[in-house]
Amino acid sequence: MAETINQWSVITIVISGLVLLLGVYFIKRGNREAHMRAMLTASALATIFLVLYLTRLGLGYEKKYVGPNHGAYIALLISHIILAAANLPLALLALWNAWKGLQAAGNLGNIDSPAARPYFAKHRAWVRWTVPVWIYVAVTGWIIYLLLGKYGEVIKGA
Ligand code: HEM
């Protein structure tokens, strides 16, 4: 049960990273509507990931790394945890500024209006951090999952 939840949490965070890249591709091509849909989908997937992850923690399922290069693994794990925690406020800021900007603009064709501009300027400034952090978290989450599949020992909640 806990292992299945673990698998699904990795699947959702990896797909959310892929949909995020799709959202970046759409906005680079000027397709705001598709960008908005992709980013809302990526955010929904990341929310599902968070629920699954917290459920797994609640079930007390944990694996210990027993493979080579323990120091490198710990460095990877710590960087992953810190950036995963940072990703939540970064994503909320991106969504908040986009939402406020859209409200001020009225529609996505009007984002250059003086009322909306400051929000989208902030949106653009913050997403410079949000996108790379999100991708790093998704990729390292997947790597950690693969490493624990090969070199992990269940220490709790088997
Ligand atoms: C966490 C979710 C989101 C992320 C990570 C994100 C990311 C991005 C990125 C990378 C850009 C391009 C910035 C640049 O090239 O300078 C951008 C621009 C933009 N985003 Fe988002 N976005 C998100 C959610 C949304 C939502 C929900 C909307 C719609 C309400 C939206 C509307 C826009 C618009 C209109 C632009 C173009 C701004 C401009 O040209 O000034 N974004 N976003």
Could you tell me the two tokens for 43? 């955010």
Q: pLDDT tens-digit profile of 71-95?
A: 999 999 999 999 999 999 999 999 9
State in Å: Cα 23 to ligand 1 middle.
8
Atom number in ligand 1 closest to CA 24: 10
Atom number in ligand 1 closest to CA 20: 5
Adjacent-strand bridge partners of 122 = none
Q: pLDDT tens-digit profile of 36-81?
A: 999 999 999 999 999 999 998 899 888 999 999 999 999 999 999 9
Work out the average pLDDT over 150-156. 89
Work out the average pLDDT over 95-104. 98
What mean pLDDT, rounded, does the chain reach?
95
Confidence of residue 133 (pLDDT cuts 50, 70, 90): very high
Q: Which of 35, 92, 117 to mutate to test the pocket of ligand 1 (most atoms within 8 A of CB)?
A: 35
The closest alpha carbon to 42, from 14, 4, 70, belongs to: 14
Work out the average pLDDT over 101-109. 97
Instruction: Give residue for tokens 């460095």.
Output: 75
Confidence of residue 103 (pLDDT cuts 50, 70, 90): very high
Q: SS3 for 158?
A: coil
Least confidently predicted of 24-33, 52-61, 117-126: 52-61
* pLDDT for res 61: 84
Q: Whose CA is nearest to atom 11 of ligand 1?
A: 124
Query: Ligand 1 — pocket residues by CB below 6 A?
Result: 24, 27, 32, 35-36, 39-40, 43, 91, 94-95, 98, 102, 108, 111, 120, 123-124, 127, 130-131
Q: Are 24 and 42 in contact (CB under 8 A)?
A: no
Atom number in ligand 1 closest to CA 131: 5
Whether pLDDT at 124 is above 70? yes
State in Å: Cα 9 to ligand 1 middle.
25
State in Å: Cα 8 to ligand 1 middle.
27
pTM: 0.92
Whether pLDDT at 7 is above 70? yes
* pLDDT for res 157: 67
Helix residue spans in the chain (DSSP H): 2-28, 32-59, 70-105, 117-151
Q: Are 66 and 151 in contact (CB under 8 A)?
A: yes
